[in-house]
Amino acid sequence: MKTSQTDIYNHDTDIDVTHKINTIELDNWMNHLRYIKKELKNLIGLYGDDLSAKIDSEDVLMKLQKKDTENDNLLHALQKYMSSRRDIIECEDTQCDMAYITEHESYRRSYLYHLDKYRRIKDEFFSKIQGSFKIRSIS
């Protein structure tokens, strides 16, 4: 079995462990953004003609479409960032390591901000459509 570059060993330095954890975290972010992409496609699809006739505002649909574009942009940026992280092993001083760690923190803030905004839009979507569906009670 081939070992991963993210396996953590007892002999790893604290900086090595930090870089490995950041790589694992970055991979998780990208997987989550891919899932959000699928979810946005479904939410936009749900909004179709049937639902848009019941909801008097196209505002939420436009927000979902905009968030879809933003999701693609962030995913692309994270993929480029993942590629640039291959050079981490070339770092020979703390300043180089800290540059990567600082950059990772910046991407973390961007990811969390994106996630928060996405959740708010999704909540808005569901609260708008909540009244559109009537649940029949079974007697």
Confidence of residue 130 (pLDDT cuts 50, 70, 90): confident
Q: What is the mean pLDDT of the chain?
A: 87
Is 70 exceeded by the pLDDT of residue 49? no
In a domain, 124, yes or no: yes
In a domain, 16, yes or no: no
Q: b/e map of 32-62 (b: 16 or more CB within 10 Å)?
A: ebeebeeebeebeeebeeebeeebeeeebbe
In a domain, 120, yes or no: yes
pTM equals 0.84
Domain count, the chain: 1
Provide the residue range defining the domain that includes 97.
93-128
